[in-house]
Amino acid sequence: MERKLTVEDIYSRHGDYKTIFAIETGTERKFVHFLGYAYYAEEQGDKPYRFVEYCFHYVPLDEVLSKGFRAAEIDGSDSIKQYIKEISLSGVFDIYNHYDNGNPVQVLQEFKDAPDGIYILEND
């Protein structure tokens, strides 16, 4: 049975919301496709959160495993085009529950043998 994610599921110990990523199988290897993350922008109004969406930020899975998830995400992200969307808190939950109107984001405990899909890490 599918369940809605909670704040505890999506909030990162690094002070923002956990990165949404996809595991995708290419022709010869698996890749981690970093999709984006949300953060609180501390501004007034009905949309105080931001969602940063990466454009084409792919890293081979073996590289992510050797560098570490956070380091692999940060390396090269400055040169990746990013889109920023202003959203409400309910918008944050909408994105994390159904990224890009697709299947719900799943919580991944470890990368080993993970099937293709959209995830957040359990221990980010």
122 DSSP 8-state letter: T
Q: pLDDT of 1-28, one tens digit each?
A: 345 677 777 777 766 788 999 999 988 8
Binned at pLDDT 50, 70 and 90, residue 96 comes out as confident
Q: Residue 84: which H helix or E strand, with range?
A: strand 82-87
pLDDT tens-digit map of 48-93: 889 999 998 999 999 999 998 889 988 877 788 999 999 998 888 8
Q: Determine the pLDDT at residue 45.
A: 81
**What is this structure's pTM?**
0.85
Nearest of 34, 25, 113, 123 to residue 80 by alpha carbon: 34
Q: Quick one: which of 104, 100, 86, 98 has its CA closest to 38?
A: 86
